[in-house]
Structure 1
């Protein structure tokens, strides 16, 4: 997701900011910008695309002597990736950069426009700087005005703000989006959204807690409600990007609860689902859905097929893109064609999308990369906001795809009046629990680590589940295959007796997904059949299963999707720990690529 840097000091400010942003490129972005203040004057530069474009824009600009600066790499959430929508955003005499989403920006914007303020961008961020300048008229000092501004924001944010009224100051605030402040013995102050830009620059750093607000000058760092706790900073830049985790995959598993919040912000409200990306008439003439994807994205599509039919009462077909291209499919004009891709460049999925467009179907892309080929081609796009994913085996991209599709099924159900308002509100309430569920699911990591040594040999794995837990079984098997190189299959639990149970013996490992909210007794019966044939059983369930050789206890939940997301994390952790114990490169498994751009 977006990246933030800030600098107070005497070095060449532009270079400090751009090099800092370069260390955040791994997070993903579609535009970038900086604002530099010296002697009370601010100059700002913005560019769409890579930082090289910002370099070109600023090639004739240099600073000398003390000053302050802020910079930002943007990943579009509100408004397209354009220079006007790029950060920093300006008021009459102030500039701001912001990570996160301001949920109540529409109300603030309407209030400010009624008060005569003119907006230049389509973003939620711009309200911050205009609101601040309005609050200055009502407060005796700038920090009070800044606090009053932040108090009015709902949502998630990491904010840096500079103003000509305080030429040596950067104001900062953090809630729900990471922000780090660093300093050194030369009196320089640094801000960043991860450690990487600070390595080799700051000697000590403070990791801001939620609710932190303050300001920094060359002589003072003031924070409320508590003083910042600085610690020594050490390590190299790659380690900093990994955030102290052993592998990017591990880091990305642990990030899932945070990015899930980004996926939901501004979309999942108390009593409604909002997709600004879809116009009011988007579903007109649509009575069926065809989903098309590859690999992990196909498993997300398969999961959603249960949700669309169950909640929106729409018939759904799920297609593997590489097969769809050559089967001479029947495409009817009442079909919404949904493609799902992490990178937006998946060759088979892109070609399938072209076929649907040629046939005149309305198309929708679920994707993590803005301005990718699939995004540019589709009629509409919903971005998953997972941020860049470096591990080849997908984790947080899959999680956010499933969440977007769940949200979309409720959005469609509401439009089609197939769920009553009470049920919709209940679904939204359970959705709001997902980030916390993903966070709590990490509690089993140590158990997965200990269990992994028992699952290094044998002649294979069966991951089994029913209903939405069947696609999750497919995904668990794929994760294990990708990074451990052990043979694994996902299978519908009820189908084991129709052939595969012939393989059952003590060297066949069965990973049984046994949710209490959905078909527990049926699944239990299927697992008992395998146990009777001496298969080694690992039960993943909130209830102990007496025939299981091993078990991983999950938390009790009242909605199947909450169990789904918790079991997803368990599968990811187990696959990773088995792979680590086998000595494999978890992030770069053999024979695989992150973005598959060939047939």
Structure 2
């Protein structure tokens, strides 16, 4: 993986390819390349590093051609290098391929091709594809690709061009997203919507097993057997302007400050008057059958799920557990029609989460999806879907997707709790009123960012930190430490505050700052005891509390957030931790939006 672009039309392809690759930088990558066709000639440039390095290269040349493909690579097979960057070609440099995904049987295919005399120049799994095309070529690229994909095991989104037939791009998809942008006498290819918004909002979203033959004036979509498919046009609901930084220094800080609006927009869609109005109806009879809830997610979304475990059990009185997507389907989970599964995925394309989702569907569970991307796999494959209206999230480190996922879990909890008669009318009304004031409360925290920035300037010189909290503060600590690790490269660990003395306290010294969350009133006294234990080891203490909770003596710094009901505190408590991670990384001179080794949308296992 990571990003694919393609163009065929009347304009110079190189300009569209490089702009599209720039729009896909947020996905995270380590190398980049393009191939442009012109009158039987292919000009290909590949380099380890950033898109700007490629642009510097191609600007030194006059590259002509109105058809081309490009790629940003996040290394899976082979180190980041020029030779491992995409596109890859066969030995005759006739067929060029860009690929997202993993070809699981590439060693077997590679050995077979080597025995036939094919010579490989990279360490990648992808390089077997152009060699397969060359080896099995039957004088028709379309039928050849239909034949070779039956030999490939794994996941892929691929775009393929043939320099001797420079009038088409062929694309194919299995388990990795691929989109075709529709223009007038020109068409586009991309792995994600933002790469296309500058040119078109009308798109075909390929399903698994579909192949498309794209020319300047036409797009023909086929199934895996070569039968034509009548595709429905998808119209994107994002604007190109939303992809820009709008005056902010980094996408992450922009997206942190967009959270009040993201929450306001999501609430506007799912609150009607004083009622939660989800875009689907599940009957009371169906809800009364549910004996447990499982949340499946990865990374930041899994920490939203961990908060959801607390709030959903409180609101619905149904047992809740959280499963990491990459492990879930390999443990032979107990799933039946009495289980409610909630899928959390910002992109709606997270491979491990989708695998768990499909397993749950297959076994008869009721499944609700929460995603930020309309038209994504989660959005298309589920009957019950909540779309968070956060707008495009560009920074690899997720912020507004996290808070809108939390908001969606509150809405689901209130909906189920009311239908199951677990919430009285007064508590339900109070909860709705609290949701409505969240944007204002978050804005208040953001307006106090200077206090967080001052703390971050002190913390930026340390290499290890602990985060501690109790109750629903603990999963917020998990997410806060996750953010710090992602973008500042500081080693950070989160612990339930009461668990420190069961081992981790051995690592607490005066050189290890401890971030303490003290925002849950009914466990505050216990939290004071845990902070005192840490103080006895002379650690630097940063305490985050809300305004109605007393100050704790002798802490080094305090960050204060607005008071709110304990149930809703997590959605406020994460904001200063997002800011703390951002400013700490900023003081350390880190690449905020594209942290090393990470990708935005993880579409491989």
TM-score after normalising by structure 1: 0.61
Structure 2 CA distance for aligned equivalents of residues 253 and 73 of structure 1: 26
In the alignment, is the contact (CA less than 8 A) between 2:242 and 2:392 conserved in 1?
no
Distance 2:457 2:406 in 1: 30
Question: How well do the aligned residues superpose, as a CA RMSD in angstroms?
Answer: 3.1
8 A Cα contact 1:465 1:473, kept in partner:
yes
Aligned residue runs from structure 1 range 117-516, under 5 A: 194=241, 241-280=244-283, 283=287, 285-515=289-519
Please say if residues 288 and 420 of structure 2, whose CA atoms lie closer than 8 Å, have aligned partners that are also in contact: no
Distance (Å, rounded) in 1 between the aligned partners of 2:492 and 2:343: 26
**Once the two structures are superposed, what CA deviation does each residue of 1:443-473 show, in whole Å capped at 9, x if it has no partner?**
2211222222211233511111111111000
Provide the residue aligned with 1:32 in structure 2. none
Asked if 2 retains the 8 angstrom alpha-carbon contact of 1:494 and 1:526, the reply is yes
Instruction: Quote the residue 1:566 is aligned against.
Output: 572
Give 1:321 shift: 1.2
- 1:554 maps to 561
- d(CA) in 1 for partners of 2:412, 2:356: 21
Aligned-pair CA distance for 1:517: 3.3
CA distance in 1 between partners of 2:466 and 2:395 (Å): 24
Deviation, structure 1 residue 267: 1.5
User: CA 1:521–1:269 in 2, change beyond 3 Å: closer, same or farther?
Assistant: farther
SS where residue 319 of structure 1 aligns?
strand
The match for 2:184 is 55
Mapped to 1, the partners of 2:323 and 2:520 lie a distance apart of 29
* C-alpha contact 1:517 1:558 (8 A) present in aligned 2: no
Query: Cα–Cα, structure 1 residues 55 and 492, in superposed 2: closer, same or farther, change >3 Å?
Result: farther
Do the aligned residues in 1 keep the contact of 2:279 with 2:384 (CA within 8 Å)? no
Range moving further from structure 2, 449-458 or 437-446: 449-458
Count of residues in Structure 1 that have an aligned counterpart in Structure 2: 396
Distance in 1 separating the partners of 2:518 and 2:298: 26
1:329-376 deviation per Cα after TM superposition (whole angstroms, max 9, x unaligned): 222320011111111111111111121122121211111112212222
Please state how far the C-alpha of 1:54 moved relative to its aligned partner: 4.4
On the 8 A contact 1:270/1:429 being kept in 2, the answer is no
Distance 1:459 1:54 in 2: 50
CA contact (8 A) 2:307 2:406 kept: yes
CA displacement at 1:291 relative to structure 2: 0.9
Residue 265 of structure 1 aligns to a residue whose secondary structure is: helix
CA-to-aligned-CA distance 1:488-517 (integer Å, 9 cap, x gap): 011111111111111111111110011153
Shift of 1:565: 2.4
Q: How has the CA–CA distance of structure 1 residues 340 and 195 changed in structure 2, closer, same or farther, with 3 Å as cutoff?
A: closer
Q: Is the 8 A contact 1:509 1:535 kept in 2?
A: yes
Cα deviation code 1:366-391 (max 9, x no counterpart): 11112212222223111111111000
How far did residue 254 of structure 1 move? 0.3
What is the deviation of 1:73? 5.2
Partner SS for 2:341: strand
- In structure 1, C-alpha distance between the alignment counterparts of 2:184 and 2:568, rounded to whole Å: 45
SS in 1 for 2:449: helix
* SS of equivalent to 1:490: strand
Give, in whole Å, the separation in 2 of the partners of 1:575 and 1:384: 24
- 1:596 equivalent in alignment to 2:599: no
SS at match of 1:333: coil
Provide the C-alpha distance between the structure 1 equivalents of 2:601 and 2:233, rounded to a whole number of angstroms. 30
Distance 1:399 1:290, change over 3 A: same
Residue of structure 1 in register with 2:528 after alignment: 524
- Tell me if structure 2 keeps the 8 A contact 1:507–1:535: yes
Q: CA deviation at 1:566?
A: 2.4
Contact 2:396 2:598 (C-alpha < 8 Å) held by counterparts: yes
Task: State the partner residue of 1:220.
Answer: none
1:55 is paired with a residue of what secondary structure?
A: coil
Gaps of 5+ in 1: 1-21, 29-48, 59-70, 76-81, 88-97, 100-191, 197-240
Return the offset for 1:278: 3.3
Q: Distance in 1 between matches of 2:306 and 2:523?
A: 18
Q: Which has the higher contact order (CA 8 A, sep 6+)?
A: 2
Q: Deviations over 1:72-129 (max 9, x none)?
A: 9599xxxxxx989969xxxxxxxxxx99xxxxxxxxxxxxxxxxxxxxxxxxxxxxxx
Instruction: Write the mapping of 1:55-134 to structure 2, written as runs, cut at 5 A.
Output: 55=184
